[in-house]
Every structure is written in structure tokens, then in C-alpha cells.
Amino acid sequence: MKQLLLSITLFLSVLNLYGQECKYPSSNYYLDKNDLKKQVCYDSIIKIPFDKDKKLLMKTYFIKSSFTSGANFSRIIFETRANFTEAKFNFETNFSDSEFNSLAIFFNSKFCSTSTFSDCKFHSETNFFNVGFDSLIDFTNVEFDSSITFFGGNFNSIAIFKKSIFKSNAKFSEARFKSSLDFSEADFRSEVVFTGTKFNSTVNFSKTKFKSKLNFFEAKFDSSVNFCNSEFDSTVDFSEVSVNGKIIFDYIILPDSLIFDHFYSNDIIDLSLARLQTDTSRCVINLSATNIEKFKFDYSQGFVLDKDSLKNYTVTVSVYEQLMKMQKRYGYTSGYEKADKEKKKYIYFEKAKHGPWKFVKNMMLNFLDRYWWDYGYNKTLVFKNVILIFFFFYFINIIYSIPYSYSFKNRVLRKRNVQNKLVLTYDMKPIDFLLKSKKRWVRYGYYTLLYTAFIFFGLKMDFKEIKYHKIGNAFLIYFQYAVGLICLAYLANTIIIG
């Protein structure tokens, strides 16, 4: 019976390297370029051919295998599929400097001692689904050319992914890291997912590059998290994340979108040292259902509130008010100003949605509030606008004062047979003497300037002297007077209050 089993095993080894349901009780299990040995449970030795470059040419199956002493797969090239499903590595395991040119499967495997995959290259899909690491696991400087999954993995000791490169999607969903985790200087070039992942100890993402979406949805951090000097590019999602330690964002490059929806932290989230990407001008930040008092950042430094994520008008206004309160607490005057302007604009636009009349009214009010004095934050605009309005009326009045009219039919100027139209409507007696001047610029230019000033600034106005035979002219005078009073009120407010 024993010979029969040996014959069958020898036959299968011609096509594949099998180790299913076997145990390896003797000294270190190893693969060697000149003499490859595999000691199976019945003490038989099977010779496996390599090519001259130490490539393992056959499919490798170690399904449900148990390695009862050390296993050394260092510097091996797996040309075809390598299947270690449900394998158990009871002692130190070494895959350093190896290459996997085809599918690598470690589904449900168990690593009981130190395991090293440093400097490995995975050129095809790699599966560490539900894997268990009871001791240190080292993935330093590893290249994953295709998708990699550690879904449901249990990392019971230190896990190191320092300087590793992930060229395709990486999934760590539902994994649990019970000890420290090091992703420092790693390079994620595609989407990386940590949804539902639990981190029981410190996590290091310092100097890490995330060139696509980063998703931490429902992740839980029981200790500190370090993103110092990391670079984000697309969307970073911290929705429903809980952080019980300190989370560090010093000197990070902000992503296009930063989501803190239903985010919880017992420490301050300090983004004050974060900066924008060189080719972008803003970072959209989602603060829905989040305690904004736990944040610190200058809203004027490229941040834009994601209003679409907020439920309604009341919630949006409330978030803006909390944001302004936070800006005021830390002395970010520019950030406070920006948030207040956005809030006022948002209110105008929301009120404009309730009918045609309210649309016209609120759009006009927003226009005036914005361009008259920049929502109250640029008082010098008041002086500028008052002067512009004054000279606008001066230009209209000077047209009325010139005793000439233009004939479009004959293309000639005709002298009017009437006196100054404004004088006929309202005779400004204190300056009538200027009309008798022989100098035309005095009669028309200087006189009209003073005439406009008397009306616009409400000086020496005598309403009894206004004649109503020309209603249009009378309305023009009253209109200039009313606009002038409003401008004077704003000027007084600006001078007194500042």
C-alpha cells in the first residue's frame, strides 16, 4: 500500500508539485537550485526539476499542507499558479526575493511564526483572503503588479508594508491589526480599501502616496494614526470612522475630496499644516453629522464645504455657523470671512427657489450685497461705488443740461429752444449765477456738477420748488435724492463703525 501511494505521488509530481494534506516533520523544508527536496509524511523524496534560472515551472499546490518546521521559499520564481490554500506554517517562513508570475493563493492560510515576503514581486493577482499572521509579517519593498486582497485577515503581531508598491487595487476590508502596522513610504497607485478594518495599535502611513481613492468607511482606530507628509490625490473617505487616539495630518498634500461624514475622534483633527496639490485650487470637505469643534484648519486655505452632502437648508446653515465658530476660535479671520460669505450667498440662492418674485428679489439682493461691499467685508468698495453712482447721475444730468439735440435724420446738432430741462423742473437758486457765465464749461460742466451734488447729497433741497409739469424730470430728481440718501447712510456706517 505504501509503495502504491509512493508511485501515485511520483506520477503527479511530473505535472505538478503537490503537498495536499501532508505534514513535514523533519528539519527545515527548503527549495534549492541544485537539489530540491520535499519530505512528505511517509519519508519519500521527490525530485522536482528547475530550469537554469531557478524557476519553478510547474503548478505548485500546498493545499491544507502543514509545515511543522521552517519553510524557505527564498529567491524562487513561480512561473505558474502557486496555491497555498489553508496551509499552516508552524515555524519561520521565508519568501523573500521571490517572484510570482501567476496567481498566488494563500486563502485561509495560517502563519504561526515570523514570515518574510520582503522584496517579493507579485506579477499577477494575489489572494491572502482570511489569512492569519500570529507573528511578525514583513512585506517590506514588495511590488504588487495586480490586485491584492487581505480581506478578513488577522494580523496578531507587527505588520510591515514599508516602501511597498501597489500598482492595482488593494483590499484590506474587514481585516484586523492587533499590533502596530507600518505602511510608511508605501506607494498606492490604485484604489485601496480599508472598510470595516480594525486597528488595535499604532498605524503609520507617513510619507505614503495615495494616487487614487482611499476608503476607510467604518474603520476603527484604537490608537494613534500617522499620515505625516503623505500625499493624497483623489478621494479620501473617513465616513463613520472612529478614532480613539491621535490622528496626525501634518504636512500632507490634500486630496480633491475629503469626507468626514459621521466621523468621530476624541482628539483634535489638525489640518492646519496641510497643503493643496500644485495643480488644484481646492479641497472639497464633507463635515456632515460631525463634531466640527474637533477640527482645526484655516477654511481660506483651499477648503470648500460640500453642501451637496448636507440634508437641507437648516443643516447647511448650522454647519456653516459651526465652521465660522471654529474659525473664530483659532483666529482664522480669512477663513471666517470666507465661510460667512458662502453662507450668505447660499441663503440668498435657497430663498430664490421659492417663486419668480423671490428669485428676482434675492438675486438682486445677492448682487448688491456682493458688489456693493463684498458682503460687508470690504468697506472701501462703498466709497468707490458711491463715487461711481454720483458720476453716473452727473453724466445723465449733463445730457439734460446741454441745449443741443442730435437729429438722426439730418445728422446735425440742433440748438434747443428751451432752457436747461433740470432748471425748468427744479431751479437751484444758490448756484444760478453760474448759468450767466460766459464760459461754457462753467455753465454746463461745473454747474451740473454742483447741481448733482446738491441733489445727490441732499444739500439745500427745497421740495416746494420742484415743478411737476414734466413728471419724468421730477422723478429723476427724486430718484437721485433717494439713492443719495442710501449712499450717505452706508458712508456714515462705514465711517463710524469702520
- What would the pLDDT profile of 190-203 be if each residue is shown by its tens digit? 999 999 999 999 99
Task: Rank 57-66, 67-76, 443-452 by mean pLDDT and report only the highest.
Answer: 67-76
In angstroms, rounded to a whole number, what is the distance separating the alpha carbons of residues 304 and 257?
Answer: 9
User: Is residue 242 predicted with pLDDT exceeding 80?
Assistant: yes
Q: Are 154 and 176 in contact (CB under 8 A)?
A: yes
pLDDT of residue 404: 46
Please tell me the predicted confidence (pLDDT) of residue 42.
26
Helix (H, G, I), strand (E, B) or coil at 488: helix
**Rounded mean pLDDT, 7-27:** 40
Tell me the CA distances in angstroms from 405 to 11, 240, 317, 410, one per residue in order: 114, 74, 55, 12
Q: Is the CB of residue 101 less than 8 Å from the CB of residue 122?
A: no
> Is the pLDDT higher at 20 or at 385?
385
Sign of torsion over alpha carbons 47, 49, 52, 58: negative
CA dist., res. 335 & res. 304, Å (int): 11
What integer pLDDT is reported at residue 338 of this predicted model?
96
| Cβ atoms of 338 and 320 closer than 8 Å | no
Number of domains in the chain: 2
Residue 98 lies in a domain: yes
Residue 420: which domain range? 380-497
Helices (H) then strands (E): counts for the chain: 9, 47
The better pLDDT of the pair 343, 40 is held by: 343
* C-alpha cell read off for 127: 489572494
End-to-end CA distance of the chain: give it in Å, rounded.
103
Higher pLDDT, 65 or 344: 344
Q: What is the pLDDT of residue 279?
A: 84
pLDDT reported for residue 454? 83
Q: What is the mean pLDDT of residues 112-122?
A: 96
In this model, does residue 1 exceed pLDDT 80?
no
The pLDDT mean for the chain works out to: 83
Q: How many CB atoms lie within 10 A of CB 405?
A: 11
Position 474 scores a pLDDT of 81
Domain contains 301? no
**All cell numbers assigned to 402:** 446741454
Q: Cβ contacts of residue 368 below 8 Å, gap of 6+?
A: none
Assigned domain for 184 exists? no
The domain boundary, picked from 114, 138, 162, lies at 138
Domain termination site, one of 113, 138, 163: 138
- 195 falls within a domain: no
Q: Which of 245-249, 268-272, 454-458 has the lowest mean pLDDT?
A: 454-458
Confidence category of residue 340, pLDDT binned at 50, 70, 90? very high
DSSP 8-state symbol, 127: E
Give the span between the Cα atoms of 229 and 408, in whole angstroms.
Answer: 72
Residues present in the chain in total = 498
Q: Is residue 323 predicted with pLDDT exceeding 90?
A: yes
Burial 457-480 (b: 16+ CB within 10 A, else e): beeeeeeeeeeeeeeebeebbeeb
54 contacts 98 by C-beta, under 8 angstroms: no
pLDDT at 398: 80
Q: Is the pLDDT of residue 15 over 60?
A: no
In a domain, 308, yes or no: no
Quick one: pLDDT band at residue 459, thresholds 50, 70, 90? low
Which positions ≥6 away from 495 have C-beta within 8 Å?
none
What's the pTM? 0.79
- On the question of pLDDT at 25 being above 60, the answer is no
Higher-pLDDT residue of 157 and 425 is 157
Lowest mean pLDDT among 74-78, 334-338, 487-491: 487-491
- CA dist., res. 397 & res. 389, Å (int): 12
Predicted local distance difference test score (pLDDT) of residue 190:
96
> Over 70: is that where the pLDDT of 43 sits?
no
DSSP state for residue 254 in the 8-state scheme: P
Within a domain: 425: yes
Among 232-246, 310-324, 325-339, 475-489, the range scoring the smallest mean pLDDT is 475-489
- Which pLDDT does position 456 carry in this prediction? 87
Nearest to 61 by CA among 101, 19, 90: 19
Within a domain: 493: yes
- For residue 197, give the nearest of 170, 180, 177 by alpha carbon: 177
Q: Quote the Cα angle for 197-200-202, to 5°.
A: 105
Lowest pLDDT segment from 35-39, 64-68, 370-374: 35-39
- Per-residue pLDDT band at 496 (split at 50, 70, 90): confident
| Res. 114: pLDDT tops 80 | yes
Segment 432-459 mean pLDDT: 76
Q: Tell me, what's the pLDDT at 311?
A: 82
- Give the list of residues 6+ apart from residue 392 with CB closer than 8 angstroms, or none: none
pLDDT at 56: 57
**Which of the listed residues 108, 138, 168 is the one where a domain comes to its end?**
138
Extended strands (E) in 427-493: none
pLDDT of residue 450: 82
Average pLDDT over residues 139-149: 97
User: CA neighbours within 13 Å on the CB side: how many for 439?
Assistant: 7
**Does residue 258 register a pLDDT over 60?**
yes
Residue 106 resides in a domain:
yes
Burial class (CB in 10 A: 0-12, 13-18, 19+), 278: exposed
Asked if residue 87 has pLDDT above 90, the reply is yes
Q: At 48, is the pLDDT very low, low, confident or very high (cuts 50, 70, 90)?
A: very low
Count CB atoms within 10 A of the CB of residue 206: 19
Burial class (CB in 10 A: 0-12, 13-18, 19+), 121: middle
